[in-house]
């Protein structure tokens, strides 16, 4: 029941009933009610109703042909049904530009004028008033066509304005959503940073006590008690691992004291890539890194140590996401008042549902790790007055973009 009305509206429009009614009245009250004229009126009405399904060109050609036959069978040049030539002219004016409107109008005028050929000039004479009437009929077609074109063009201009306004509104809405997401992320970072700092400091003391106790236990356990020595070693190594995690928590929580200085971005990226090439191992040993630097990037104010940490983290993540023998591209370019550094991989990509959370603290899809790497990167970039974004398509790869402000000239 619910699908029938919508399906009906797809094929039948309310104005179709108006056209059917008008052409039915014309067929009934036409001065010439011969079968051929009634049939032509019905065909013309059907062509008018089917115009949206046929397209403007086919519809105009069909109605010009039907109008020719209709005028031919109803007194030719004197026929009052010449007014039906306005139908294809109006369609052209609403569907095409000025040139298309003019062409169809000329065809309609030529079609009507062609009936002068059928006049028996030897036995029939057109008076001066008749010529004036013919001229007025011919002028009616371009006049209506031009006025309709002007109205349609005005409507099209208004439609374009509304479309541009809608596009601008959509772009502004997208920017607003991105800004809201950044604000929410910043608020989460502040709250979690405070919580993390307090928790990390509270854990440091008992962890130190545990490590000292484990080392003391290992020294005092008899040599023949291998199990106790092994357990003490496990305790010590696990305490070291937890201390490493706590250190990362503190790195995330404590304010970064930037030491800004003019730096060469290309040189910084080269250093980061060289270190990655020296230290890569395991699954990342076969990953190749390609450079695509823009030649016109000036020096920018950065903290070299912190930004190297950012690019190193992004490079390692890209390599880990890439298949064996894959490639990672590091690209730079100037964008408005920012410099963009893109780290591009062709790996497995990121699930769309995780994209908004990828920079949140403690969010990770890896089996190992605490999910602070990208959160720290985001914090460092934010403190440089920049931003970090990600685009990813599952199965095709990811692009992490770091935007840093260019110096004001």
The 10s digit of each residue's pLDDT in 350-379 is 888 888 778 877 777 666 666 677 888 888
Q: How far apart are alpha carbons 249 and 269 in whole angstroms? A: 26
Burial class of 27 by CB neighbour count within 10 A (0 to 12, 13 to 18, 19+): middle
Q: Which residue range(s) make up the domain with 229?
A: 176-253
Q: Both 203 and 323 in a single domain?
A: no
Q: Both 274 and 290 in a single domain?
A: yes
**For residue 171, is it within any domain?**
no
Q: Both 143 and 50 in a single domain?
A: yes
How many domains does the chain fold into? Answer: 3
Which secondary structure element, helix H or strand E, spans residue 344, and what is its range? Answer: strand 338-345
| Joined tokens for residue 352 | 């769309």
Q: How far apart are alpha carbons 303 and 210 in whole angstroms? A: 37
Select from 204, 227, 253 the last residue of a domain.
253
Q: Both 69 and 148 in a single domain?
A: yes
Burial class of 72 by CB neighbour count within 10 A (0 to 12, 13 to 18, 19+): middle
CATH number at residue 241: 1.10.287.130
Q: Quick one: pLDDT band at residue 407, thresholds 50, 70, 90? A: confident
Question: Could you give the 3-state DSSP secondary structure of residue 12?
Answer: coil
Cα 397 off chain centre by: 18
Q: Both 28 and 161 in a single domain?
A: yes
Q: Both 381 and 397 in a single domain?
A: yes
Q: Both 378 and 338 in a single domain?
A: yes
Task: Quickly tell me which residue has 């973009």 as its tokens.
Answer: 401
> Which residues contact residue 383 at a Cβ distance below 8 angstroms, ignoring those fewer than 6 apart?
256, 258
Beta carbons of 406 and 340 less than 8 angstroms apart: no
More confident residue, 372 or 327: 327
Neighbours of 187 (CB within 10 A): 10
Q: Quick one: pLDDT band at residue 1, thresholds 50, 70, 90? A: very low
| Joined tokens for residue 276 | 């990655």
Q: Is the pLDDT of residue 192 over 90?
A: no
pLDDT of residue 289: 92
The 10s digit of each residue's pLDDT in 289-319 is 999 999 888 899 998 888 998 999 999 999 9
| DSSP letters spanning 307-340 | HHHHHHHHHHHHHHHSPTT-EEEEEEEEETTEEE
């Amino acid at each position: 029941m619910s699908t029938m009305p919508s399906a009906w509206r797809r094929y039948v429009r309310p104005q179709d009933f108006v056209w059917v009614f008008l052409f039915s009245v014309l067929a009934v009250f036409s001065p010439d009610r011969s079968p051929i004229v009634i049939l032509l009126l019905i065909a013309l009405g059907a062509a008018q109703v089917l115009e949206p399904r046929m397209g403007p060109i086919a519809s105009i050609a069909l109605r010009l042909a039907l109008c020719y036959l209709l005028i031919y069978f109803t007194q030719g040049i004197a026929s009052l049904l010449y007014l039906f030539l306005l139908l294809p002219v109006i369609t052209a004016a609403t569907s095409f530009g000025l040139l298309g409107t003019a062409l169809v109008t000329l065809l309609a005028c030529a079609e009507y004028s062609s009936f002068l050929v059928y006049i028996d000039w030897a036995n029939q004479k057109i008076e001066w008033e008749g010529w004036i009437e013919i001229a007025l009929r011919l002028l009616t077609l371009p006049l209506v066509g031009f006025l309709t074109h002007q109205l349609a063009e005005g409507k099209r201009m208004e439609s374009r304005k509304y479309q541009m306004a809608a596009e601008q509104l959509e772009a502004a809405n997208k920017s607003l959503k991105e800004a809201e997401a950044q604000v929410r992320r910043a608020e989460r970072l502040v709250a979690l940073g405070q919580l993390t700092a307090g928790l990390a400091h509270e854990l440091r003391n008992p962890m130190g006590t545990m490590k000292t106790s484990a080392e003391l236990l290992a020294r005092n356990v008899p040599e023949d008690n291998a199990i106790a020595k092994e357990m003490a070693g496990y305790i010590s190594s696990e305490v070291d691992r937890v201390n490493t995690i706590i250190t990362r928590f503190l790195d995330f929580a404590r304010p970064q004291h930037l030491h800004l200085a003019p730096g060469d971005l290309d040189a910084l990226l080269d250093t980061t890539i060289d270190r990655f090439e020296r230290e890569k191992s395991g699954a990342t040993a076969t990953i190749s890194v390609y450079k695509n630097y823009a030649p016109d990037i000036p020096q920018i104010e950065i903290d070299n140590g912190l930004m190297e940490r950012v690019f190193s983290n992004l490079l390692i993540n890209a390599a880990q996401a890439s298949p064996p023998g894959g490639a990672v591209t590091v690209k730079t370019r100037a964008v408005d008042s920012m410099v963009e550094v893109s780290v591009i991989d062709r790996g497995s990509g990121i699930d769309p549902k995780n994209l908004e959370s990828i920079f949140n603290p403690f969010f990770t899809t890896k089996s190992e790790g605490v999910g602070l790497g990208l959160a720290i990167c985001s914090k460092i970039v934010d403190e440089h007055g920049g931003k970090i974004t990600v685009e990813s398509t599952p199965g095709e790869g990811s692009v992490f973009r770091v935007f840093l402000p260019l110096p004001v000239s």
